[in-house]
Amino acid sequence: MTLLWCFLFTFGLVLVAVTKIAFVGWGIGIQSLDFTGFSGHAMRATAVMPVLFYLLLQKAPPLARLSGVILGFALGVIIGISRLVVHAHSVSEAVTGCLVGGMVALSFFWLSRSLPKPELHRWLIVLTLIPVFLTAQAKPAPTERWLNGVALYISGHDKPFARTDWE
C-alpha cells in the first residue's frame, strides 16, 4: 500500500513538474486559459488530505470514513482557492492542480481496495507528527528556482518564459 501511494504521488508530482518545466523552458501553456502549469500546492493537498483521512478512519463506520474523505477533498480545494487569493496561480492552474490531486487520491482508493489495510498504532502516529511539527519551522525549499534551472538547462534558453511574454 505504501509503495502504491509513493508511486501515485510521485506520478502527480512529476506531472506538475513537467507542465511547469514546459512553460518556463519553452512557453508551452494555454494563453486563453492563463494556464502555465498545474498548481503543485493544490495537487499535493488534494492528493494527500483525502488519503490521510481514509487511512486514519479505516476502522470507523463507512459514513464516518466517507465524511473524512470528503473533508479531505474540501481541504484540498481550500488550498487550491488559497493559491488564487495570494495570486500565485490562475483559476485554470488551481482547478487542474486539484483535479490531478483528486485523480491521485481516487486512484489510490481504487487500486488499494483489495490490499490489506494498515494497522495504525497511536504511538506511531504521534512519532510521525514530531518531524511534521519540526519541519513547519523550516525554510521552504527553493523548488521554483530548481524547476527554472532544470527548464533552462534542458531548453538551452538563458531566461525563463513568463506570462508577460504572451502579451
Examine residue 69 and state whether it is found in any structural domain, yes or no. yes
* Domain hosting residue 55, numbered range: 2-162
Examine residue 52 and state whether it is found in any structural domain, yes or no. yes
Query: Which residues on neighbouring strands pair with residue 35, listed in sequence order?
Result: 30
Give the pLDDT band of residue 129 (cuts 50, 70, 90): confident
- Count up the domains in the chain and report the number: 1
What is the residue type of 48?
V
Q: Taking residues 45-65, what's their average pLDDT?
A: 93
Residue 79 pLDDT: 96
- On the CB side of 125, CA atoms within 13 Å amount to 10
For residue 145, pLDDT over 80 is answered with yes
Q: Do the beta carbons of residue 37 and residue 22 sit within 8 Å? A: yes
Strand stretches in the chain, DSSP E: none
pTM for this one?
Answer: 0.89
Give the pLDDT band of residue 119 (cuts 50, 70, 90): confident
CA 40 to chain centre: 5
Which among 46, 135, 50, 141 is positioned nearest to 95, based on CA atoms? 46
Examine residue 167 and state whether it is found in any structural domain, yes or no. no
Give the pLDDT band of residue 120 (cuts 50, 70, 90): confident
Residue 30 pLDDT: 96
